[in-house]
Structure 1
Amino acid sequence: MPETLTKAQTPAKEGLRERNRRQTLQRIADVGMELFLANGFDATTLDEVAAAAGISRRTFFYYFKGKDEILLAHVASYDDALRASIRDHASAGAPIDVVRAALLDMSARFQTPRTIAISRLIRESEVLSSRRPRNDLHREQVIYDMLCELWPGKDRRDRLRLVAMASSGAMRIAVDAWLEQGGKRQLTKFVQDAFANLKAAI
């Protein structure tokens, strides 16, 4: 999972108010995540997050509805990183090869002990755990939208949807296996294996 909100979320042009708001949101998200990792999600209070970020409790609720939304902000940053990575690997070949290359690149950047800890925090959150099927569908939609951007022909959409579904499933299998083994083996290896099995199956 991504560790901070990405530059892809930053508008090309923004005013002072927008920039200050984005920077404050980023600071709250970063401070909150550090406290969660250090003290545990349940043990960390909203007041502690607000105090560490140098804001009031009221200001916290202007940016986030609750602690879970800090975790959701990190999930959202993963989507932005995925979009950028697919664009960066548009020349990798067929649609499934483009997605594979993009996910391998992301996996190489995010396979750190800190990422494992953040992923576990997210999975231990009741709210986010209940959203997991929805998050998987959302990732599939992100992949599909990006493939449609690269291959805009309407006659290819059913095939691109299948690629998005299969690729998202392969990534879920890879991440699950990686977390089960505590990150002892590189995430990229699990992604490579998952896509090799996918190609063998079809």
Structure 2
Amino acid sequence: MGSKMLTGSMLIIGPILAIIMLFIEPGGTTDEASFSDTAQNLLDSATLGQITGVGWTVAVLAITVGTAYLARSMQGQQKTGSDLAGLASVLALLSAAIVAVEYGLHNVVYDSGWTDQGGDAANAIAIGEAMFRGMFTFMAAASLLLGIAIFLQKNLNHIAGGITALFGALLLLGWTLPFESDILDLVGFIGFLGWPIMTIVLGILTILSARKEAN
């Protein structure tokens, strides 16, 4: 029960914390701002920037590690979709590693000694952004595979599994296809909105399953 409760809690807390960070992060750090402007805005609001940086990292690590735990719990030689769950677990753990490295890149922006040695804050942010996009691609694939595995195993809720797979597929298409399209942008945006919602839903279902097993 304890492991499932932890997994479910991470899947719920992660998206909620990410939404909170979205509203309190320093202004001028959106996708529309240049990397040099973003770096300067972060330095101008260093304390808030560092707090939200930690918050974002904790939030996304909770999502990725929670997803990996859930996928790993679905593995087993006699379980349908076990291989898909295993792949989802690997992709989620890779995403967690990317987030950890990205946090390091984000943090050096506030290190004056690093910039004095010739480090470029704008380049660090640009590299971190590219890595974060790669993480989203991995997590989209993980959600797709995990959703299919849940649908096949029916161990939580096969409808929730199907919807999770759908949003994962939409997010994957929107982030990976190499051409510009308003329709494709909309597809990716729908997947981006649905992914955290279904993550919370899976977290709730996991906790309910743990409580049911305990009774």
What is the TM-score with the length of structure 1 in the denominator? Answer: 0.32
Answer 1 or 2: which has greater helix percent: 2
What is the TM-score with the length of structure 2 in the denominator? Answer: 0.31
More relative contact order in 1 or in 2 (CA 8 Å, sep 6+)? 2
